[in-house]
Amino acid sequence: MKRFLITTVTAISIATTSISASATPARAGGSDVAEVLGALALFAIIAAGVEHERNAEKKKQHTTKPRVVRQPVALPGRCVRRLENNQGTRRVVARGCLERHYAAAGSLPRYCATRFKNARGNIRKGYDLRCLRSDGYRVIR
């Protein structure tokens, strides 16, 4: 932008001086010089104003939106099952229990869904408690 302004001002000043030089005889009066200097001063003021506006736009502060903090969702503690296997202890939330005791059981994240064996050896469906906690859920007792 700065180069463009300088080029434009230079081109206009050259054009103005060549027109006034060809239209008048070889002598230059005080009023002719004053007109040319006035025109150059006007172009310089306009160029400085444009440059100032451009710099002001660069310095504008960008605001960020405040992060939305979700309140943790409470899950019933009666649905938490503690499972022990070769790899250690694992805690899951039983899906059937959640469907009975938690109204929004269908809205739990699917990527936390898991399968587990209950005490009788039957395969049941549920949700991994660690995954649910990392997603903003908590257990109330």
Q: Is residue 132 part of a domain?
A: yes
Give me the pLDDT at residue 32, please: 74
Residue 28 lies in a domain: no
User: Cβ atoms within 10 A of the Cβ of 103, count?
Assistant: 8
Q: How many domains does the chain have?
A: 2
Domain shared by 43 and 94, yes or no:
no
Expressed as residue numbers, the domain containing 121 is 73-140
| Residue 68 CA from chain centroid, whole number | 14
Taking only the tens place, the pLDDT of each residue in 60-84 is 667 788 887 777 788 999 999 988 8
Q: Is residue 49 part of a domain?
A: yes
* Nearest CA-CA partner of 94 in 72, 116, 111: 116
Looking at the structure, do residues 84 and 120 belong to the same domain, yes or no?
A: yes
- Residue 82, in any domain of the structure: yes
Q: Which residue has the higher pLDDT, 139 or 39?
A: 139
